[in-house]
Chains A and B, each alone.
Chain A
Amino acid sequence: MPESDLYREIQRVADRYPVRRSAIMPALHLAQGKHGWLSPDALREVADALDLSPAYCQAVASFYDMYHLEPVGRHTVEVCTNISCALVGAQQVLEAFEEELGVHAGETTEDGEITLRTIECLGGCGWGTVVAVDHRYREPVKPEDVPGILEELRGG
C-alpha cells in the first residue's frame, strides 16, 4: 500500500518523542483534521502508522472530548456553560443558538452544517459568555451577537 500523506505526517510527529506511542494524540488530531471525525478508517490509519491496534486507538480517543467518534457538522459552535459564564447569562446565549439553528445542544443541523454543543470552562471566564466557533474563541458573546455569528458561518 502506498504511504499516505497522513502516514508520513504521523511519522514526522512520532520522531519528536522518545517513545513513538506518545504520538498518538497528535496523530489523532491530524487524522481528525483530515477526515472530519475519527471514523473506523481514520483510526485504522493512525493504528497502522504507529504500530498500535485500532482498538487501542479507539480506547484512547474515546477518553478525550475533542476527538469525535461520530460524524459532526462542518462547523462547530461550543457554548461554555460553566459557572463564570453561567453567572453572566450563558444559558440565554445557548438558547439563542438553539432557536436560530432549530436544534438542541448536542445536535447537528439537518443540512449537516453546524453542530451545537455546550462545553465545560474554555478558559476565558473573565470575558463570558465564551463561545468557540470552529475552535476559535469569541468573547464575550451576548444573545444579540448570535445571528451575526451564524450568518458569518453560513456565508463562509
Chain B
Amino acid sequence: MAKGPRQLLLEHADERDLTKLSEYEAVGGYESLRKALDMEPGAIVEELLASNIRGRGGAGFPMGRKASFLPKPDQATKPIYLTVNADESEPGTFKDREIMFRVPHALIEGAVITCYAIGAETAFIYLRGEYYTEFEIMRAALEEAQKAGYVGAAVAGSGASVTIVIHRGAGAYICGEETALLESLEGKRGQPRSKPPFPAISGVYASPTLINNVETVATVPDIIELGGAEYAKLGVENSAGTRVFSLSGNVVRGGNYELELGTPLRSLIYDIGGGIPDGRELKAVIPGGSSVPVLAANEVDAPLDFDSMANLGTFLGSGAVIVIDDRACMVQLGLRVAQFYMHESCGKCTPCREGTRWMVQILKKLEEGRAEQGELDLLLNVCDRILGNCLCPLGDAAAMPVASYVAKFRDEYQRHIEEGGCPFGAESSLAGVMAPVDQHHAHMRSQIEVPVHEFA
C-alpha cells in the first residue's frame, strides 16, 4: 500500500495552539516524559534503538546507535551533554523552523527525555540566528516548561535534573555541521574539527556529547508513547517513521508536510503540493536540500525513503524537496548553488575554499558563453578533487549536485559552449539572480572607487 500523509510530530497542531503548555498538555503533552522517568535510562536508549529512527538532520545516522556510543553515566569522567542542532540552513529546508514555531514543547520534552536517557544534565539548543521569532517562541515555551517543573531541578518530581540553554547562532551555514557547531558553541569561529575523536567521546568542552537535529529530538516523545517497536512499523524498511518534508520551488502549494517515509515523491509534488503552476512542465527535483544530486523529471515515481534515494544516486538529506520547472537553466542553477557553498566555505580546507571558487568562475564563464570545451571537463575535474578531500562535507555539498546537473543535463551545458551563450536568454527563471557573493564584490568595487581625498 502506498504511503502518504501521517501526522505524529505535528499531530493536533492544525487545530490547537500547541505553543501554549496547557494546550500541549491537553493532547497528552509531557505524558511521555512521565512515562520515561519511570523507566531505566538504558531502557529508553533500547527503545530508541528498537524504533530504528535515523537522524533527520541530513546524514541519517541511527539515533539509538549514536546514543549508545556515549560512555555510560557511571563511567563518564566528565559531564555528558546533549546538543540540539537547530541551525537549519540547508537551502530548501524549513521544517525545524515549523517544528519550533508550532510544537516547541515537543522539542523541549524530547530534549529532557533524551538527557535523562543519556545521563546529561545540560542540553544546548543551537538555534539559527535568523530565526528570531522562533527563538522567542522557544524561550517562552521553555519558561513555561520550567515553571511547570518539566525542566530544571527534579524534573516532574523525579531525581533527574535538566537545564536547557538556548544559544543563538549568527549567520553561518557551516555551524550546522556538528563539529563546527561545537566550536561555535565554545565561543570560537565555527570551523569543523577533524574526526575522530567523535563528539560522543569528545564533544563540547571535550566532554561526551550527543548531537541531534531538532526533528529527531522532537520525535522522541512519540517513540516513547508508541514504544520503539510500534514506531518502527511506520514507514518502510531502513526508513522508519514519519518525516516533515519541506516542499518549495515551482509548485502550487509549497510548505511543510509530514509524511510516512516511503511516500512517493510524485504524490508529494502533485497530490499534496498541487503540481506545477502556470501550466509548466516538471524538469527536475532536488530531493534533500541543495547539497544532494538532482533527480530528472522521469524519476519522480520513487518513494521518499533512504534506500530508494540511494538507489537513484542521491539522498533524502534534510527532507527538502525543491521542484524545478522547465523555465530554469541548469547552468544558472549550478552557478547559484556553487555561489552559496563558496560563500559558506569556512576556508579551513584548501579543496573546498579554492575549489568552490573555481567552480563559480567556470560556471560563470559557461553561463556567459565564454567557456571552451575543455572547461566543462575542468569543472568536473574540480568537483572530483573536492570530493572526500576535506574535513567536513561542505565542499562535497557543492561538488556532488553540480556534477549531477552536468551528468543529467549535459546537452544544456554543451549548448552554452556551442551557442556562445545561454540558450534560455532572459527567459530562464534564474536569469541574473544576484547572490550575496556578487554583492560583496559590488561592495568592494564601491570601496575602491571612493576618492582618496575623502579619507584625508
Residues of chain A touching chain B, judged by Cβ–Cβ distance below 8 Å, are: 16-19, 21-26, 28-29, 59-60, 63-67, 81-84, 86-91, 94, 104-107, 117-128, 132, 135-137
* A132 to B134 alpha-carbon distance, docked (Å): 14
Q: Could you give 22 example pairs across A and B, Cβ below 8 Å? A: A16-B165, A17-B165, A19-B186, A25-B167, A25-B169, A60-B188, A64-B170, A64-B171, A81-B434, A82-B336, A87-B249, A87-B250, A87-B430, A106-B446, A117-B439, A120-B344, A121-B290, A125-B249, A125-B322, A126-B256, A132-B130, A135-B132
Interface string of B125-144 (1 = CB under 8 A from A): 00011111100000000000
In-complex Cβ contact of A126 among B205, B248, B346 (8 A): B248
Q: With A19-B187, A125-B92, A126-B246 given, is the CB distance from A65 to B255 under 8 Å? A: no
Are B436 and A88 neighbours in the complex by a CB distance under 8 Å?
A: no
Are A84 and B89 neighbours in the complex by a CB distance under 8 Å?
A: no
When C-beta atoms are compared, the residue in chain A nearest to B347 turns out to be A63
B172 at the interface (CB under 8 A from A): yes
When C-beta atoms are compared, the residue in chain B nearest to A26 turns out to be B168
Are B173 and A83 neighbours in the complex by a CB distance under 8 Å?
A: no
Additional pairs, 14, CB under 8 Å, beyond known A64-B170, A89-B429, A125-B248? A64-B171, A81-B433, A81-B436, A83-B333, A83-B337, A84-B92, A84-B248, A87-B429, A88-B250, A91-B433, A104-B442, A118-B438, A125-B94, A126-B254
For the complex formed, measure the closest distance between the CB of A25 and the CB atoms of chain B, giving whole angstroms.
6
B190 at the interface (CB under 8 A from A): yes
Which of B189, B250, B439 counts the most chain A CB atoms within 10 A? B439
Are A65 and B172 neighbours in the complex by a CB distance under 8 Å?
A: yes
For the complex formed, measure the closest distance between the CB of A27 and the CB atoms of chain B, giving whole angstroms.
9
Residues of B within 8 A of A63 (CB): 172, 189-190, 346
* A60 to B433 alpha-carbon distance, docked (Å): 30
Residues of chain B touching chain A, judged by Cβ–Cβ distance below 8 Å, are: 79, 88-94, 96-97, 122, 128-133, 165, 167-173, 184-190, 205, 246-250, 254-256, 286, 290, 320, 322, 324-325, 328, 333, 336-337, 340, 343-344, 346, 429-436, 438-440, 442-443, 446
Residues of A within 8 A of B171 (CB): 64-67
Q: With A22-B185, A63-B189, A135-B132 given, is the CB distance from A125 to B93 under 8 Å? A: yes
Are A126 and B435 neighbours in the complex by a CB distance under 8 Å?
A: no
In-complex Cβ contact of A23 among B172, B187, B328, B346 (8 A): B187
Are A105 and B248 neighbours in the complex by a CB distance under 8 Å?
A: no
For the complex formed, measure the closest distance between the CB of A155 and the CB atoms of chain B, giving whole angstroms.
22
Residues of A within 8 A of B79 (CB): 18
Residues of A within 8 A of B122 (CB): 18
* A47 to B435 alpha-carbon distance, docked (Å): 33
In-complex Cβ contact of B249 among A21, A59, A83, A104 (8 A): A83
Which of B184, B250, B434, B443 counts the most chain A CB atoms within 10 A? B434
For the complex formed, measure the closest distance between the CB of A50 and the CB atoms of chain B, giving whole angstroms.
8
* A120 to B254 alpha-carbon distance, docked (Å): 19
Residues of B within 8 A of A29 (CB): 129, 168, 170
In-complex Cβ contact of B92 among A17, A60, A83, A90 (8 A): A83
Are B446 and A119 neighbours in the complex by a CB distance under 8 Å?
A: no
Are A123 and B172 neighbours in the complex by a CB distance under 8 Å?
A: no
Residues of B within 8 A of A24 (CB): 187
Contacts between the two chains (Cβ within 8 Å), count: 174
Residues of B within 8 A of A119 (CB): 436
Q: With A67-B170, A124-B97 given, is the CB distance from A87 to B328 under 8 Å? A: yes
* A90 to B184 alpha-carbon distance, docked (Å): 31
Are A118 and B436 neighbours in the complex by a CB distance under 8 Å?
A: yes
* A5 to B426 alpha-carbon distance, docked (Å): 54
* A88 to B277 alpha-carbon distance, docked (Å): 10
For the complex formed, measure the closest distance between the CB of A134 and the CB atoms of chain B, giving whole angstroms.
9
In-complex Cβ contact of B340 among A64, A82, A89, A137 (8 A): A82
Are B336 and A83 neighbours in the complex by a CB distance under 8 Å?
A: yes
* A63 to B435 alpha-carbon distance, docked (Å): 18
For the complex formed, measure the closest distance between the CB of B353 and the CB atoms of chain A, giving whole angstroms.
14
Are A25 and B186 neighbours in the complex by a CB distance under 8 Å?
A: no
* A16 to B168 alpha-carbon distance, docked (Å): 13
| Nearest 10 pairs of A and B residues by beta carbon | A126-B254, A65-B171, A64-B170, A21-B187, A125-B248, A66-B171, A84-B248, A121-B91, A106-B439, A63-B189
Are B170 and A82 neighbours in the complex by a CB distance under 8 Å?
A: no
In-complex Cβ contact of B187 among A22, A104, A121, A122 (8 A): A22
In-complex Cβ contact of A135 among B130, B185, B248, B250 (8 A): B130
Are B170 and A106 neighbours in the complex by a CB distance under 8 Å?
A: no
* A128 to B248 alpha-carbon distance, docked (Å): 8
Are B168 and A106 neighbours in the complex by a CB distance under 8 Å?
A: no
For the complex formed, measure the closest distance between the CB of B286 and the CB atoms of chain A, giving whole angstroms.
8
* A31 to B336 alpha-carbon distance, docked (Å): 34
Are A137 and B89 neighbours in the complex by a CB distance under 8 Å?
A: no
For the complex formed, measure the closest distance between the CB of A33 and the CB atoms of chain B, giving whole angstroms.
11
* A127 to B249 alpha-carbon distance, docked (Å): 9
* A29 to B89 alpha-carbon distance, docked (Å): 19
For the complex formed, measure the closest distance between the CB of B352 and the CB atoms of chain A, giving whole angstroms.
16
Q: With A65-B170, A84-B249, A125-B246 given, is the CB distance from A106 to B205 under 8 Å? A: no
* A60 to B186 alpha-carbon distance, docked (Å): 11
